[in-house]
Chains A and B, each alone.
Chain A
Amino acid sequence: MIDFVVLALLTIITASTPLVFAAIGEIVVEKAGVLNLGVEGMMIVGAIGAFAVAVTTGDPTLAILAGAASGLVLAFIFGFLTLYLLSNQVATGLALTLFGIGFSALLGNGFVGQTYGGLPHLDIPILSDLPFVGQLIFGQDVLVYLSVFSALGVTWFLGRTRWGLAVRAVGENHDAAHSIGFSVTLIRMGAVLFGGAMAGLGGAYLSLAHTPLWVENMTAGRGWIALALVVFASWKPWRAFFGAYLFGGITIVQLHAQGFGVDVPSQILSMLPYLATIVVLVLISRDGSRARLNAPACLGRSFHASG
């Protein structure tokens, strides 16, 4: 029984980590007042970027960096279009996703069918061998720890640093931020790039650790679920973290229901995360005034300094 619980928790961690990266990254982007709907596209390009480097070089560090860099490059396209050319953020985000899916398929053409051994796990003598907590806490791969650290780091950054304050300021009232001397466009670009790198890491986790191989469309809507998580979390990093684990929990139900002899077609079970996303969105948006209170006031609005 203990073994089963550990296994279940490990599966939850694996399922949740990509969501944590993508959602935490998008929180920073949206706090700066930018709505980037291209998370799915940045994730999938991160996934193929990381996977390609992993199987070519065999170096996990390089692979992880490649994942982040791939997401970052896509985010740069988005940032350039929306921040400098003032294109519609919703449309550009959709374009990013459509492009990302196509582009990743093109890049991944030669990698279909190849496999990668997976990311190395932390192995501390004694600690990692402890029953129950050993593997869970001291036996994960580096990206899992990084995801926890990112929730901590972003919380600290947004709440305690001057630049974090500036990010919130441009998202709250970009005209005021501009008139007291902040460069709205640069700050937003920084946030967008960070969000892209984080989505790329989320994608990298998918293709390096979650299912270490390349399949077209392997993100399967996780980028969109991450966007929903941001709303669900009311733009608070820790709530996004726990939200991601809640979704990981749903995945486990899906995987193990049949093991318990529940006779439901697998497709119906696979619908669960998507249906749960809808339910969660309804619950959170039902109270309209609260959602509006938490959302950054300038979310999705373009800024152009005239003069």
Chain B
Amino acid sequence: MTDTPRLELIGITKAYPGVVANNNVSLKVMPGEIHALLGENGAGKSTLVKFIYGVQKADSGILKWEGAVTDIPNPNVARKLGVGMVFQHFSLFDAMTVEENIALGISPELAKSGLTQRIIDISTQYGLPLEPDRYVHTLSVGERQRIEVVRCLLQDPRLLIMDEPTSVLTPQEVEVLFQTLRQLAADGVSILYISHKLQEIKDLCHTATIMRMGKVVADCNPAEETPRSMAEMMMGGNLTPPERTANAALGAPQLIVKGLSVIASDSHGTDLKEIDFEVRTGEILGIAGIAGNGQQELMDVLSGEVLVDDPKSITIDGNSVGGSGPNRRRSVGMAFVPEERLGHGAVPQMSLWENAFLSGATRMNLLSNGFMRIRESEDYASTIVEEFRVKTPGIANVAASLSGGNLQKFIIGREILQKPGIIIALQPTWGVDAGSAAAIRQSLIDLAANGAAVLVISQDLEELFEIADRLSVICEGRLSPGRKTEDVNVDEIGLLMGGVANDPITEAAAHAD
């Protein structure tokens, strides 16, 4: 190993209107080093790597590539230098084949003849099987990530940037990926690994740069740290895990889902198959699973945005509601929090009081003879802002002006204040800062303790283990039977998420046949 860093950043600064995404950031990545870039959502990690890859410009600062000051105006230049990047939100085109996708993302000279063979060669060499002729929309999330990795490897990268690569993988797939990365590092490739998952970083990375609110707050050797100590550096304070009162007495089932099968309306979607579960008052049921295994479809039919043929397949508090829309379901006590905050849970260009009215009209009595009760809607919005500590200049401000965490607190608060019998939340803390995430989890726990039923569908296993009383796993549209959280471990859930092992109960049933 030489002493010249492969990549060195000095004083990178980038400001957006209203927020400084990177503030005087400096870091060094050595050849063959796996270097973690650690930070919460919104700490500025993605902005920084987009700058390295030439997708975004910085306002000031210097980038040195192998010791020489270099300007990377666009990704083509980055690739020529030997920088490869695997994006968090894949840069793939669904309606094209694997090979076409790869051809687009590499230099034209490489994309000429013999590409198919080279794809196969690289993918076997690193244990990343791919079929070049398949269309991307037919592939699983893990396979899609492989396309991105292979695309990078085809160009002999000297620096590989991976932006949150494991958020869509099962624990077992993560292990395979790590082997590939270690092999690459051993061959002298530098890897810049972005994540907020502490255990992973401890397992994989040689060094770590920790960012908070756009600034570098620490450099450390992950092997010498504990996940807890790194978390505290990342968040700049002591970690307070949510408080749980002793399990409240379980009451009657609030939500019963029986034999629910749905053909996805979108041809790229997942069909739901024979889903059975119930949520009782006083408990939190968590549904784990990798993205794209039917979570969105399940949410759509539970919320009533998509209706099912058999009204009896969904029962809320004794009412069959499978054939009724969201408002009827709200009137019998349901509340729900969609995954997408802007544009689904809230209208970005509308004020907070209008957004309070959006879902609150029915249960909060905000309508009279078809006219909006504006004063009452404003009061309701003010109450939400106050009780859930939403940071905003006022309720006349539009939803889009709030930070992700604050808007999510507003949305959760809006639903909780309607005193629902059952609340269903999809990815409630996705992309939310740690402080808000903790507050949101706490309010869900409190809601259950006060006698409501809570259903949380999430890809974040840590979150589910933290708050759920029972866990189920959704995989390819099938739901595993719920089990007490204390009776299962991460590995078992991981296997269910990958669809590798069947649940012991169904397995036994299959043998009995």
Taking beta carbons and an 8 Å cutoff, which residues of A are in contact with B?
A: 162, 165-166, 168-169, 172-173, 175-182, 289, 292-293, 296-297, 306-307
Q: Are A172 and B93 in contact (CB under 8 A)?
A: yes
Taking a contact as CB atoms closer than 8 A, the residue among B16, B74, B76 that contacts A306 in the complex is B16
Question: Which residues of A are found within 8 Å of B111, using beta-carbon distances?
Answer: 162
Q: Report the Cα distance A289→B137, complex, angstroms.
A: 14
Question: Which residues of B are found within 8 Å of A307, using beta-carbon distances?
Answer: 14, 50, 55-57
Q: Does B89 contact A (CB under 8 A)?
A: yes
Q: Does B87 contact A (CB under 8 A)?
A: yes
Taking a contact as CB atoms closer than 8 A, the residue among A181, A289, A297, A306 that contacts B265 in the complex is A289
Residue of B whose beta carbon sits closest to that of A290:
B267
Quote the shortest CB–CB distance from B86 to chain A (angstroms): 11
Question: Which residues of B are found within 8 Å of A178, using beta-carbon distances?
Answer: 55
Question: Which residues of B are found within 8 Å of A292, using beta-carbon distances?
Answer: 266-267
Question: Which residues of A are found within 8 Å of B16, using beta-carbon distances?
Answer: 306
Q: Are B105 and A180 in contact (CB under 8 A)?
A: yes
Question: Which residues of A are found within 8 Å of B50, using beta-carbon distances?
Answer: 179, 307
Taking a contact as CB atoms closer than 8 A, the residue among A166, A173, A175, A306 that contacts B94 in the complex is A173
Q: Are B94 and A289 in contact (CB under 8 A)?
A: no
Q: Are B90 and A176 in contact (CB under 8 A)?
A: yes
Q: Report the Cα distance A307→B51, complex, angstroms.
A: 9
Q: Report the Cα distance A155→B94, complex, angstroms.
A: 20
Question: Which residues of B are found within 8 Å of A180, using beta-carbon distances?
Answer: 75, 91, 104-105
Residue of A whose beta carbon sits closest to that of B77:
A181
Question: Which residues of A are found within 8 Å of B464, using beta-carbon distances?
Answer: none
Q: Does B103 contact A (CB under 8 A)?
A: yes
Taking a contact as CB atoms closer than 8 A, the residue among B90, B96, B103, B267 that contacts A172 in the complex is B96
Q: Report the Cα distance A297→B108, complex, angstroms.
A: 25
Main secondary structure of the interface of A (DSSP, over half): helix
Contact sample, A vs B, 15 pairs, CB 8 Å cutoff? A162-B108, A168-B95, A168-B96, A169-B104, A173-B93, A176-B87, A179-B75, A179-B85, A179-B91, A180-B91, A180-B104, A181-B74, A306-B56, A307-B55, A307-B56
Q: Does B54 contact A (CB under 8 A)?
A: yes
Taking a contact as CB atoms closer than 8 A, the residue among A165, A175, A293 that contacts B267 in the complex is A293
Q: Are B95 and A179 in contact (CB under 8 A)?
A: no
Question: Which residues of B are found within 8 Å of A182, using beta-carbon distances?
Answer: 104
Q: Report the Cα distance A289→B267, complex, angstroms.
A: 7
Q: Are A175 and B89 in contact (CB under 8 A)?
A: yes
Q: Are B79 and A181 in contact (CB under 8 A)?
A: yes
Q: Report the Cα distance A34→B100, complex, angstroms.
A: 21
Q: Report the Cα distance A173→B74, complex, angstroms.
A: 18
Q: Are A176 and B93 in contact (CB under 8 A)?
A: yes
Question: Which residues of A are found within 8 Å of B55, using beta-carbon distances?
Answer: 178-179, 181, 307
Q: Does B162 contact A (CB under 8 A)?
A: no
Q: Are A289 and B266 in contact (CB under 8 A)?
A: yes
Q: Does B12 contact A (CB under 8 A)?
A: no
Question: Which residues of B are found within 8 Å of A293, using beta-carbon distances?
Answer: 95, 267
Q: Report the Cα distance A108→B50, complex, angstroms.
A: 52
Q: Report the Cα distance A4→B50, complex, angstroms.
A: 66
Q: Are A172 and B75 in contact (CB under 8 A)?
A: no
Q: B266-313: which residues lie under 8 A (CB-CB) from chain A?
A: 266-267
Question: Which residues of B are found within 8 Å of A289, using beta-carbon distances?
Answer: 265-267
Q: Are A173 and B92 in contact (CB under 8 A)?
A: yes
Q: Are B87 and A165 in contact (CB under 8 A)?
A: no
| 6 tightest Cβ-Cβ pairs between the two chains A and B | A181-B75, A176-B91, A307-B56, A172-B93, A180-B105, A181-B76
Q: Report the Cα distance A180→B94, complex, angstroms.
A: 15
Beyond A172-B95, A175-B91, A181-B75, whether A165 also contacts B100 by CB under 8 A is yes
Q: Are A179 and B87 in contact (CB under 8 A)?
A: yes
Q: Report the Cα distance A165→B103, complex, angstroms.
A: 9
Q: Are B75 and A165 in contact (CB under 8 A)?
A: no
Q: Report the Cα distance A296→B96, complex, angstroms.
A: 11
Beyond A181-B75, A307-B50, A307-B57, whether A172 also contacts B105 by CB under 8 A is no
Q: Report the Cα distance A296→B55, complex, angstroms.
A: 23
Q: Report the Cα distance A151→B56, complex, angstroms.
A: 38
Q: Report the Cα distance A169→B55, complex, angstroms.
A: 17
Q: Are A173 and B265 in contact (CB under 8 A)?
A: no
Most-contacted residue by chain B among A175, A179, A180, A293 (CB, 10 A): A180
Quote the shortest CB–CB distance from B31 to chain A (angstroms): 25
Residue of A whose beta carbon sits closest to that of B268:
A293
Question: Which residues of A are found within 8 Å of B87, using beta-carbon distances?
Answer: 176, 179
Q: Report the Cα distance A166→B76, complex, angstroms.
A: 14
Residue of A whose beta carbon sits closest to that of B137:
A293
Q: Report the Cα distance A175→B91, complex, angstroms.
A: 7
Taking a contact as CB atoms closer than 8 A, the residue among A166, A175, A297, A306 that contacts B95 in the complex is A297
Given A165-B104, A179-B91, A181-B55, 20 additional A-B pairs, CB 8 A:
A162-B111, A165-B96, A165-B100, A168-B93, A168-B95, A176-B92, A177-B91, A177-B93, A177-B104, A179-B53, A180-B75, A180-B104, A180-B105, A181-B54, A181-B76, A181-B79, A289-B266, A293-B95, A297-B95, A306-B16
Q: B50-107: which residues lie under 8 A (CB-CB) from chain A?
A: 50, 53-57, 74-76, 78-79, 85, 87, 89-96, 100, 103-105
Q: Report the Cα distance A172→B111, complex, angstroms.
A: 20
Q: Report the Cα distance A179→B88, complex, angstroms.
A: 11
Q: Report the Cα distance A211→B85, complex, angstroms.
A: 57
Q: Report the Cα distance A177→B101, complex, angstroms.
A: 10
Question: Which residues of B are found within 8 Å of A296, using beta-carbon distances?
Answer: 95
Quote the shortest CB–CB distance from B405 to chain A (angstroms): 21
Quote the shortest CB–CB distance from A304 to chain B (angstroms): 13
Question: Which residues of A are found within 8 Å of B108, using beta-carbon distances?
Answer: 162
Q: Report the Cα distance A306→B55, complex, angstroms.
A: 10
Q: Report the Cα distance A296→B94, complex, angstroms.
A: 10
Q: Report the Cα distance A206→B267, complex, angstroms.
A: 41
Q: Report the Cα distance A21→B93, complex, angstroms.
A: 28
